[in-house]
């Protein structure tokens, strides 16, 4: 497959690295930053072209006429959209995926009765540029934060199969009832018709593959699959965590801060701290049940005045990494129970994860996961990087029959799964089946949620998922 990538920033270069490692992929990157291209080209087996990706001459030079997929991933929406339009009209590129940051493009002409995610339908404004699919970082980050804030004991809440099942990552802390108990004992504590599948335990940086007699220790990072409607029950049984009306301070009233408050203001007691006076005034006019404060989130006196020691969650989501880090550390030091911080620089993410800031959210990792779901082989419905990208959670849809598929018509324990690949759950229609049931016979249309601890086995997994040529005959 010939793939053309616009943008060699963190997202573009990471996607290029993924694709370059796959066999039979011819990858070309276009960017105006010559130094960034030189750096990427020295590390990866890819072609690089200096220029503007929205220029038809540059696209032609990059071989757009025989390209199979365009990934427009620059930080400029207009460049991405114009490139997709040219790719469709002039070069007939079949797949045209654009990274779009502005909410206006996402929402203008959207069928409000269906919601933003219904059938992943595109708005009229996006259809006008002939894109086949779009990636919206701010929307993705907002949804990710909503999932975390609904269950603040969780480090990650990842939805699969239209949110029928979720993969949750949470840490065992001092005082939790699960410490010292075996997995078999924990599962037995769940009420009737409620189940979960513990699919990973990280003790420090060491992965422990869960067995029935595995004992949970303080500090363990536990990943488990659970039916969405049972999540509150499971969180209460495992962590004695009960959802209540949380008190939340959001530091930063940009697009993500506004959308987050709008989503949650009827459920949480929310305050937003915004440093720009005009933006603060706009927020006050457009939010109904949120208190808007004009000031700096790193102002100790302001935080004390707003009773930071009584706040359940402090969420720092400005565009400045340093401000987010310092305000989060200050909030924790002054008594906030938990702190969530958006961090864009990947090195900062690695340094801060697991330290004083409870949850570090990387917009780039979330965006990369969304892009990967489009470029992976087989019918991959969702991809989420875990453990700073060293592991992944993947949702795949299996198709065909016993003759055209390596999976359909076979028992789970019949299949030779790649080492490091574990089934977390199977979703069949409205039924959620936990991954420990190895007697299940896989059926056409099943959604399988995998936990993959070794990313190098992804190619083997993709081959298993793919249907054979006879399926199309």
**Residue 97: pLDDT over 90:** yes
For the segment 459-471, the average pLDDT, to the nearest whole number, is 70
Q: Which residue has the tokens 């269950």?
A: 151
Q: Provide the CATH topology of domain 2-135.
A: Rossmann fold (3.40.50)
**Residue 355: pLDDT over 70:** no
Q: What is the pLDDT of residue 120?
A: 52
Mean pLDDT, the chain, as a whole number? Answer: 86
**Residue 116: pLDDT over 70:** no
CATH 1.10.238.10 fits 375-465, yes or no: no
Domains 247-365 and 375-465 share a fold: no
Assess contact for 246 and 152: CB atoms under 8 A: yes
Instruction: Tell me the CA distances in angstroms from 128 to 67, 92, 100, one per residue in order.
Output: 21, 16, 14
Q: What is the pLDDT of residue 257?
A: 94
Instruction: Tell me the CA distances in angstroms from 316 to 120, 252, 272, one per residue in order.
Output: 29, 7, 10
Q: What is the pLDDT of residue 103?
A: 78
Q: What is the pLDDT of residues 400-429, one digit of tens each?
A: 888 888 899 999 999 999 888 899 999 999
**Residue 381: pLDDT over 90:** no
- Closest by CA to 433, choosing from 172, 57, 164, is 164
Q: What is the pLDDT of residues 433-449, one digit of tens each?
A: 998 889 999 999 999 99
Assess contact for 94 and 68: CB atoms under 8 A: yes
- The helix/strand/coil state of 21 is coil
DSSP 414: G
Residue boundaries of the structural domains of the chain: 2-135, 247-365, 375-465
CATH class of 247-365: alpha beta
- Closest by CA to 370, choosing from 383, 360, 389, is 383
Q: What is the pLDDT of residue 167?
A: 92
Q: What is the pLDDT of residue 242?
A: 64
Grade residue 114 by pLDDT with cuts at 50, 70 and 90. very low
Grade residue 117 by pLDDT with cuts at 50, 70 and 90. very low
> What dihedral angle (degrees, nearest 10) is formed by the CA atoms of 77, 78, 84, 86?
-170
Grade residue 264 by pLDDT with cuts at 50, 70 and 90. very high
Assess contact for 87 and 96: CB atoms under 8 A: yes
Q: What is the pLDDT of residues 3-12, one digit of tens each?
A: 999 998 888 8
CA distance 165 to 449: 9
**Residue 335: pLDDT over 80:** yes
Q: What is the pLDDT of residue 154?
A: 84
**For the residues of 129-178, what is the DSSP string, one character each?**
TT-SEEE-HHHHHHHHHHHHHHSTTEEEEEEETTTTEEEEEEE--TT-TT
CA distance 458 to 155: 24
Cα dihedral sign for 13, 374, 134, 168? negative
Strand order in the sheet with 447-452: 380-386, 391-397, 447-452, 421-428, 431-434
Q: Which helix (H) or strand (E) holds 380?
A: strand 380-386
CA distance 181 to 204: 19
**Residue 98: pLDDT over 60:** yes
Q: What is the pLDDT of residue 300?
A: 93
**Least confident among 36-40, 346-350, 357-361:** 346-350
Q: What is the pLDDT of residues 294-309, one digit of tens each?
A: 999 999 999 999 999 9
CA distance 378 to 315: 37
Q: What is the pLDDT of residue 470?
A: 44
Q: What is the pLDDT of residue 472?
A: 38
Q: What is the pLDDT of residue 241?
A: 66
């Amino acid at each position: 497959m010939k793939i053309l990538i616009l943008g060699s920033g963190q997202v573009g270069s990471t996607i290029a690295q993924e694709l370059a490692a796959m066999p039979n992929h011819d990858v070309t990157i276009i960017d105006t930053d010559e130094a960034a291209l030189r750096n990427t080209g020295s590390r990866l087996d890819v072609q690089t072209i200096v220029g503007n990706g929205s220029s038809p001459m540059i696209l032609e030079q990059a071989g757009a006429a025989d390209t199979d997929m365009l990934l427009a991933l620059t930080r400029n929406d207009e460049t991405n959209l114009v490139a997709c339009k040219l790719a469709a009209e002039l070069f007939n590129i079949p797949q045209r995926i654009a990274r779009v940051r502005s909410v206006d493009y996402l929402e203008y002409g959207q069928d409000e009765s269906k919601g933003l995610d219904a059938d992943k339908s595109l708005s009229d404004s996006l259809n006008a540029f002939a894109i086949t699919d779009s990636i919206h970082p701010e929307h993705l980050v907002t949804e990710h934060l909503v999932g975390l804030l609904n269950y603040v004991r969780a480090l990650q809440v990842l939805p699969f199969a239209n949110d029928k099942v979720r993969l949750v990552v949470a840490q065992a802390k001092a005082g939790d009832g699960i410490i010292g108990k075996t997995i078999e004992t924990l599962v037995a504590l769940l009420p009737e018709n409620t189940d979960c599948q513990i699919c990973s335990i990280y003790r420090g940086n060491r992965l422990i593959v869960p067995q029935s007699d595995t004992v949970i220790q303080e500090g363990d990072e536990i990943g488990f699959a659970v039916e969405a409607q049972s999540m509150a029950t499971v969180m209460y049984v495992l962590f004695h965590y009960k959802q209540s009306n949380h008190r939340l301070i959001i530091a930063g009233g940009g697009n993500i801060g506004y959308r987050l408050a709008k989503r949650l203001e009827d459920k949480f007691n929310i305050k937003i701290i915004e440093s720009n006076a005009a933006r603060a005034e706009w927020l006050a006019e457009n939010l109904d049940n949120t208190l808007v404060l004009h000031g700096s989130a790193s102002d100790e006196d302001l935080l004390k005045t707003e009773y930071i020691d009584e706040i359940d969650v402090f969420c720092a989501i400005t565009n400045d990494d340093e401000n987010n880090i310092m305000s989060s550390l200050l909030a924790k030091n002054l008594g906030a129970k938990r702190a969530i911080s958006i961090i864009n620089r990947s090195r900062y993410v690695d340094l801060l994860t697991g330290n004083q800031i409870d949850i570090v959210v990387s917009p780039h990792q979330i965006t990369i996961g969304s892009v990967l779901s489009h470029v992976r082989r087989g019918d991959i419905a969702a991809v989420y990087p875990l453990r700073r990208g060293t592991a992944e959670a993947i949702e795949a849809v299996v198709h065909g029959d016993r003759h055209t598929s390596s999976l359909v018509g076979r028992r789970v324990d019949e299949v030779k799964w790649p080492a490091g690949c574990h089934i977390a759950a199977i979703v069949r229609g409205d039924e959620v089946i936990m991954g420990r049931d190895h007697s299940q016979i896989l059926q056409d249309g099943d959604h399988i949620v995998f936990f993959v601890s070794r990313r190098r086995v992804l190619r083997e997994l993709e081959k298993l998922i793919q249907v054979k040529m006879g399926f199309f005959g």
